[in-house]
Chains A and B, each alone.
Chain A
């Protein structure tokens, strides 16, 4: 039964219920909006609801925010924009390629190869650090590449032990999101500072922050895109294969256009995640590449909870995402696959 089929009184009850729910969801947003136009005194002086009626709107909070009096607003806004857009684009792109490979190709390797990687990576680091006397950064880089090379080479041989496949790889990717991010944030900060000592500045840099976000977004991108690619009819790709279309062209010319709604949905989710991300930004940036969530949190200063300026900053953080979602939701429409099969 649809709400449309209701008649008479029940119809009004349903409408009333919907309106109530609408008010319930919109009110916090409205509250933030009006608070940003209130004076500090109006904020603390008890609840007022209607601008021009029970309080006189002022632009104090906005003036302070946009003039940079409360943190480098433009700089932060642009940093947020650049980092989140580029991280979302790159994560979606790289993740889509990984997901496609995991859906259409079969990977097999032995658990032993993975163990070799772990043992060599950790052991090599400890060895370099404590026995050979290298710095942390150098030990880290050497042991990582040695571990990677050994794992790849060892997977060429018929090793004993259980064999792992595509599902194990996917699980490994997704498991990256299971531990508390603070663990990674700490480790990442330490690693970044060590690498920074070698001359590659990663803390408070575009590359460092974007890298961290890409790495942290990839699991979810791979997980989502894998589902989209699995839903694609394989015959379309087979038809292209028989027609001698090279693999990369099948991916870019056929698979990606067919999964456009999925790509856009995934991009949107990743973008929202990066845009809203607080913890990594807090650890990995200090001034130049600070992002909006840090700025918003920063409004809560020594002077107390300055709700008017928090509200203004929060609105600035919300609005671009709303615009983005508005634009992209048009492209997310389904039905793109109609006509491919049957």
Chain B
């Protein structure tokens, strides 16, 4: 059993508080991805789990052990770094086996483990090469090999794929997932790339300014973001936001916003928004939910500024009132800049947030 628990953990560098009290628990065998913009404290959190930073206060547990004040080497974690951090003067085999050699493992056992790691990671042909003679992807596989021979309680990945080119990144993404499925070891993975987070994680922890904004499985994050930050961060292209107010009219509740946006709210949304009449709210709708074809959907007027044909569909970038808005249209649609088009809004996929707190309404 090797769950990881952070209890009221804080971190300050001098007078700057990077992490206000943070609670996070990671289940045994779970693949958790910490994601957020740079400076959000995700790497600091990971380094505190590894022991490379000491927590300013709070408790960190791995399994049943309190490791808060234990040095990194005794926490039985393996870490893969963004820039690989290989030992440049050692061959691939020596790199992978160095930790075991230091711990006094017998030569034959080291060879066996190295061979096994090399087999899993397809490094067999390169065992006698120095890291300088390897490509970026191979180097990162060596770093992963060095991590797996440790047989750690927890794998820690610090943006391991950011230095690879896009194609290789997608390949390695799958490789790491397969590896996790095979080894069944608890893993904490840090990235700033929300696609990486969504595709790899059992559970995504979205962080901002040292706080956890939402921790949930990828689909929940996508379908029920807890607040504006998560809604904006998850999904590409990101969600459209229109500031407006909810009004009570003769026919029930309706949403009104600058730019001639006004439409009635269906029953289920009206129930949630009933207590926020005349309050400033933010409507959120993802571009992929503006392409529905049902006839009775409310429509909003979009001033087209640019179009981005992507092949399967086309993105239309423009303005609704003064808010920028991206809509998704069929690839065959004939639209040109400066057009004024009507975009349908799939009311089943609409999100509402309170303007002043950013909280999602009705969660």
Contact = CB atoms under 8 A, between A and B. Distances in A.
Give the bracket for the number of chain A residues in contact with chain B: 20 to 34
A238 interface: yes
Contact of B79 (A239, A245, A254, A340): A239
Nearest to A244: B73
A295 to B, nearest CB: 41
A236 B85 contact: yes
B12 to A, nearest CB: 16
Nearest to A237: B85
A244 B99 CA distance: 7
Contacts of B150: 243
A243 B99 contact: yes
A249 B99 CA distance: 11
Interface stretch (A61-69, A178-186, A207-215, A331-339): A331-339
A51 interface: no
Interface in B81-101: 81-89, 98-99
Contacts, number: 97
A243 B81 contact: no
Interface in B127-163: 130-134, 136, 139, 143, 146, 150, 156, 163
A337 B50 CA distance: 25
B355 to A, nearest CB: 43
Given A242-B72, A243-B98, A339-B134, A254 B146 contact: no
B103 interface: yes
B102 A258 contact: no
B102 A249 contact: yes
Given A242-B52, A242-B72, A340 B86 contact: yes
B78 interface: yes
Nearest to B132: A339
Nearest to B84: A341
B188 interface: no
A342 interface: yes
Contacts of A235: 81-83, 85
A243 B77 CA distance: 8
A336 to B, nearest CB: 6
A242 B150 CA distance: 10
A320 interface: no
Contacts of B133: 339
A73 B39 CA distance: 67
Best-buried of B89, B98, B156 by chain A (most CB within 10 Å): B89
Contacts of B84: 340-342
Interface in A212-268: 233, 235-236, 238-246, 249, 253-254, 257-258, 260
B87 A236 contact: yes
A240 B103 CA distance: 12
Contact of B73 (A233, A242, A254, A335): A242
The CB with the most chain B CB atoms within 10 A, among A246, A253, A340, is that of A340
A338 B98 CA distance: 19
A340 B73 contact: no
A243 B133 CA distance: 24
A338 B88 contact: yes
B251 interface: no
Given A249-B102, A339-B131, A340-B131, A242 B86 contact: no
Contacts of B50: 238, 242
Given A336-B88, A339-B86, A339-B133, A245 B102 contact: yes
B78 A243 contact: yes
Contacts of A240: 87, 98-99
Interface string A303-342: 0000000000000000000000000000000011111111
B51 interface: yes
B166 interface: no
Contacts of B103: 244
A339 B139 contact: yes
Residue of A245, A338, A339, A341 contacting most chain B CB atoms (<10 Å): A339
Contacts of A339: 86, 88, 130-134, 139
19 contacts: A233-B83, A236-B87, A238-B79, A240-B87, A241-B52, A241-B71, A241-B72, A242-B75, A243-B73, A243-B78, A243-B99, A243-B102, A245-B102, A249-B102, A257-B89, A258-B88, A338-B131, A339-B130, A340-B131
Considering the complex of A and B, which 3 residue pairs feature the smallest CB-CB distances, nearest first? A244-B73, A339-B131, A339-B132
Given A339-B139, A342-B83, 10 more contacts: A240-B98, A240-B99, A241-B72, A242-B79, A243-B98, A243-B146, A244-B74, A245-B73, A245-B99, A340-B131
Interface of A: 233, 235-236, 238-246, 249, 253-254, 257-258, 260, 335-342
